[in-house]
Amino acid sequence: MIAETPVPPYYAVIFTSLRSEVDAGYAAVAERMMALAAEQPGFLGVESAREGLGITVSYWSDLEAVRRWKAQAEHREAQRMGRERWYSRYRVRIARVEREYGA
């Protein structure tokens, strides 16, 4: 779904990734991380699609909320497993949303 975000400014974390050939554990942890993110203070929404390349954009109220989510204990463990097992390459970009429009 398209996230219902507030009037900018707010923050976007753009996570792009290519999967490795290791599947074990991935789907459950990915699903858990989406649910866990949604419980965090400052979480505004998330959008995700994979078509070879995976793109997940999560939206946050401010940079402090982004930092807290990166440092959240269960999420840190998931990040470690992602680096070691599930992703052959990934990129995280932290961006300040300045303008939004659409229909």
Nearest to a copy of itself of 29, 45 (CB atom): 45
Is 89 a binding residue for a copy of itself by CB under 8 A? The answer is yes
Rounded Cα gap, residues 82 and 91, in angstroms: 12
CB neighbour list of residue 96: distance below 8 Å, 6 or more residues apart: 9, 10, 11, 12
Among the residue ranges 4-12, 20-28, 32-40, the one whose residues contact a copy of itself (CB under 8 A): 4-12
Backbone phi and psi for residue 50, each to the nearest 5 degrees, phi listed first: -130, 130
Nearest to a copy of itself of 74, 84 (CB atom): 84
Please, what's the b/e burial string for 5-15 (b: 16 or more CB within 10 A of its CB; e: otherwise)?
beeeebbbbeb
Is 93 a binding residue for a copy of itself by CB under 8 A? The answer is yes
Is 71 a binding residue for a copy of itself by CB under 8 A? The answer is no
Contact residues toward a copy of itself (CB under 8 A) are 1-3, 5, 8, 12, 14, 16-18, 47-55, 57, 83, 87, 89-103
